[in-house]
A and B are shown apart, each in its own frame.
Chain A
Amino acid sequence: QKEVEQDPGPLSVPEGAIVSLNCTYSNSAFQYFMWYRQYSRKGPELLMYTYSSGNKEDGRFTAQVDKSSKYISLFIRDSQPSDSATYLCAMSAVGGGGNKLTFGTGTQLKVEL
């Protein structure tokens, strides 16, 4: 079993739709949860970052973490064609040299006009 599981998609939605992206994980030591966005032929860029359980909102983006279920989500409201990209969840544990990210496989999102 992989430490982090993510539905690879592709996911195609109309402009303005609400998008839900999800990851599950098995390592209970993970404390930091991130979402990266990766455009084609570019490096990943950090979108959202959450520590432990709870919700975090930034504009049209909301990140949720449920540690009891080992499940994290990213919601995109009013999706735009510019949101078309691959979304990667990433997680890290505390200590032990810190900051080692374990990534999901990424979900490819296409927002159509």
Chain B
Amino acid sequence: EAGVAQSPRYKIIEKRQSVAFWCNPISGHATLYWYQQILGQGPKLLIQFQNNGVVDDSQLPKDRFSAERLKGVDSTLKIQPAKLEDSAVYLCASSLDIRDKGTDTQYFGPGTRLTVL
């Protein structure tokens, strides 16, 4: 079974530029998550999708971050404009379906390492 795919793996940009990350979840997984992991910290949830609807985006900085999951499969996360503090690894994860469950195993992709200069 193929895992969660992410691209690009690495990205270096200057502050105030824009950047986009792409995620392809495990086939059949209805729930998709984007996390931000700053060096030396644990992942922090930015946004959670159930199919193509948003379940939780309470920690997404909406003035600069946006995410979409058209057709309930692939997803993109965009930052515009980027700030120095956005330097982090952006992890995508997917799980089967969280409806009517307390929890469900999340499978993580390798992440995109973003450096903002």
Which residue of A is nearest B110, CB measured? A43
| Given A31-B102, A41-B110, A46-B106, residue A99 in contact with residue B95 (CB < 8 A) | yes
In whole angstroms, how far apart are the Cα atoms of A25 and B28 in the complex? 33
A contacts with B, residue count (CB < 8 A): 29
Greatest chain B CB density within 10 A among A41, A90, A97, A100 is at: A100
Query: Is there contact, CB below 8 Å, between A105 and B41?
Result: yes
In whole angstroms, how far apart are the Cα atoms of A44 and B107 in the complex? 8
In whole angstroms, how far apart are the Cα atoms of A101 and B99 in the complex? 15
CB-defined contacts of A103 to chain B, threshold 8 Å: 42-44
In whole angstroms, how far apart are the Cα atoms of A78 and B36 in the complex? 33
In whole angstroms, how far apart are the Cα atoms of A43 and B106 in the complex? 11
Interface assignment of B14: CB less than 8 Å from any CB of chain A: no
CB-defined contacts of A98 to chain B, threshold 8 Å: 98-99, 101-104
In whole angstroms, how far apart are the Cα atoms of A6 and B40 in the complex? 11
Contact pattern, A 88-104, Cβ under 8 Å of B = 1, otherwise 0? 10101111011111011
Tell which of A45, A93, A99, A104 touches B48, judged by Cβ atoms closer than 8 Å.
A99
User: Which positions 60-113 of chain A face chain B at CB distance < 8 Å?
Assistant: 88, 90, 92-95, 97-101, 103-106
Contact pattern, A 1-34, Cβ under 8 Å of B = 1, otherwise 0? 0001010100000000000000000000001100
Query: Is there contact, CB below 8 Å, between A99 and B103?
Result: yes
In whole angstroms, how far apart are the Cα atoms of A92 and B104 in the complex? 10
Which residue of B is nearest A36, CB measured? B108
Tell which of A44, A92, A94 touches B43, judged by Cβ atoms closer than 8 Å.
A44
Interface assignment of B25: CB less than 8 Å from any CB of chain A: no
| Given A49-B105, A88-B42, residue A43 in contact with residue B56 (CB < 8 A) | no
Interface assignment of B87: CB less than 8 Å from any CB of chain A: no
Write the residues of chain B forming the contact surface with A, with a CB cutoff of 8 angstroms: 4, 31, 40-45, 48, 55-56, 91, 93, 95, 98-99, 101-111, 113
